[in-house]
Chains A and B, each alone.
Chain A
Amino acid sequence: GENVEQHPSTLSVQEGDSAVIKCTYSDSASNYFPWYKQELGKRPQLIIDIRSNVGEKKDQRIAVTLNKTAKHFSLHITETQPEDSAVYFCAAKAGGTSYGKLTFGQGTILTVHP
């Protein structure tokens, strides 16, 4: 089945700096890659996603890039703010016979210091 590896496990930045979180996946049939933000005690919230026919997608301060050949995708947050502090999860949606399932990375604890 699909395996998603996420790095780093923790990331600490100063307010205004950029933050980058990277994920790799194993199943070349995976075709959808969402990123979730989870604040303490709350449900995961979708912040951006990308499909396998697109290389990059941007939404204000957040961007995601996808390299299908290398099977990795990254989340970029620019001009970080303290409210960006949370746990971020990447995920990959399986194709083929496992269609529809999301497999999650291990998560990254992002701390933005004022």
Chain B
Amino acid sequence: GAVVSQHPSWVICKSGTSVKIECRSLDFQATTMFWYRQFPKQSLMLMATSNEGSKATYEQGVEKDKFLINHASLTLSTLTVTSAHPEDSSFYICSAPGTGHGDSIGYTFGSGTRLTVV
């Protein structure tokens, strides 16, 4: 089935630095990648949708300059948290739509990145 590889799994960074999170579709082409943020004991909140070769679409309330998304190829999408602050600490997960057939009818999720800003 479809696999999305996300890394790093966890990262600790100093306040003011930037962190890049990568998501790769390993055995399929992902023209679209969804980026979610999850606070403890809460559901996933969609932050933005990245589309290969075009600008990402951000959800209301998400700062575009803060969360830079790049989808330069059909297999790679990146999220960069710029000038990170402690309130950006969270669990970030990417997801790609499946192929629509069989087991890939759902959305495939990366394993998530735990970001801690100190």
Question: Do A and B belong to a common assembly?
Answer: no
